Structure 1
């Protein structure tokens, strides 16, 4: 409008030296190795925080993140710099393998336990819960889901998704395990209460010593290894192997591999590895409805 004074915030440029500061920060905190061409990503994702905090430069923001009383802001920065992209039954073949592996699990060994080690907004662990409920019934299984991002974990615990997510869920599972929202939630679906109760969520940094999570029959760490350098990848795998039972599965995404990683693992098929043990996997079977 004529005569109205308006302040326009212009995002500062991210200098090469500032980019190095944030590249070092995300590597130290999350083990993520940003490539040289990620400067624009860092700049675009953090610019809104500079604007919200009225900080003139990225260096000022980095300096703020070093303050002991800024743990919440540091978590916000890590959340912004961490890619969280997922959907229900992504790389569905992995769910087939889990179904077969779980069916061969001996009940005398206790509940079949899965760790979704980079669960993002929860689609992966809830999809796994549907599969296990089909194969093992309403008991005899547990799922632990974790992520570095507190924001993603909050969304996962809510267990409510846009109705468009229904396209990736097998119809039989959709009918049994999802509730359609009404009123203000008309365009959403909610995961059934029983499944929600069987999935526990924890904030876990895979680049640090693990909390006491127990032992697992399968660990999914998909679309994470691709961001780690070889040294970090080895450290993370060592931590995972320490909580993977003999015969247990370690599953990465189809875009990743564990080539060059040492440890007691057998490659079952691309992206699927097994700790030597007595549970065999027929990964060729099709299990989902």
Structure 2
């Protein structure tokens, strides 16, 4: 009981810290107030920000609106009007929309991000694997929604391999961890940006500066061997994801505002550090899609400042400094 209370105190402390961070961010992220103006360009930009929110779900705060103005600052008024008019007639999946959203979105991520939450997931995976085996299945399916350059998706694959190894369904080899037949792992990474998905599929990352490896536990470095230097990389050290991990991960373009999820029946769904940029309406819509993607008993992990839209649909699982949600069997649909 004392250990349980200590863990609960850590969870609450993490929530207080997240709330404090969210409050600290409220000032720079405050939604831009509509400007009362007769300036045609300003009116056009106001309409465009509303279109961006509708298409992408991104909340056009004062900071984001300023960024949009910078992106389009060199476009002449007549050209801007013609471009916006054309843009409005295009579907959300058109390259013109995608390139604009690409210019506005943030793609900062790294391996093993939010370690406390991943440690909680690692503790929940043995029960999940046993549940899958008990149902006569042999595939562990995971979705990284808003995967950016792929670090989270590959992290999930590693955690899944370790869980199957510990359960006796995979072996350590010189090439990495190999699943026993008929067991397999399927990790789907999706993002609205086609550019970052290209980087994710390449599965190579620099170790320079604030690199993708800055919070990687030493025991996991074996999954990222140093790549041979080339003329393009010069003196920069590059690490690649081993094939034994890479083969379990695939990437697809997907907009969380699409409504229906890309697939259903996932055992684990992660959507972290994405919804914070969405409007309230978009957050609700996205979370509905996340819930529909999960199978009953599946695990949902959100970002530390994200509020669960449908708490009654989930059972809470918590650990030191982290929380996860398990979809109730009566709440699917």
Structure 1 residues 176 and 202: CA distance shift in structure 2, 3 A? closer
| Residues 1:63 and 2:100 are matched in the alignment | no
Residues in 1 aligned to 2:223 and 2:62: alpha-carbon distance in whole angstroms: 47
Q: Does 2:224 match 1:180?
A: no
Gaps of 5+ in 1: 1-12, 278-289
Task: Summarize the alignment of residues 1-289 of structure 1 with structure 2, pairs less than 5 Å apart.
Answer: 15-47=41-73, 50=75, 58-66=80-88, 68=90, 71-104=94-127, 105-106=129-130, 107=133, 108-136=136-164, 137=170, 138-139=178-179, 140-164=184-208, 165-184=212-231, 185=233, 186-210=236-260, 212-258=262-308, 260-261=309-310, 264-269=313-318, 271-276=323-328
Return 5+ residue gaps in structure 2 as ranges: 1-38, 165-169, 171-177
Alpha carbons of structure 1 residues 19 and 68: separation in structure 2 relative to 1, 3 Å: closer
> Residues 268 and 42 of structure 1: is their aligned pair in 2 closer, same or farther, counting only changes over 3 Å?
same
Pairs aligned (count): 260
- Any conservation in 1 of the 2:271–2:303 contact (CA below 8 Å)? yes
Deviation per CA, 1:245-271, whole angstroms, max 9, x where unpaired?
22211111112222x535511333455
**1:180, 1:190 within 8 Å by CA — same for their partners in 2?**
yes
Counterpart contact for 2:257–2:282, Cα < 8 Å: yes
Contact 1:130 1:177 in 2 (8 A): no
Q: What TM-score do the two structures reach when normalised by structure 2?
A: 0.70
Which deviates further from its counterpart, 38-47 or 82-91? 38-47
Question: Relative to structure 1, is the Cα distance of residues 14 and 37 closer, same or farther in structure 2, using a 3 angstrom cutoff?
Answer: farther
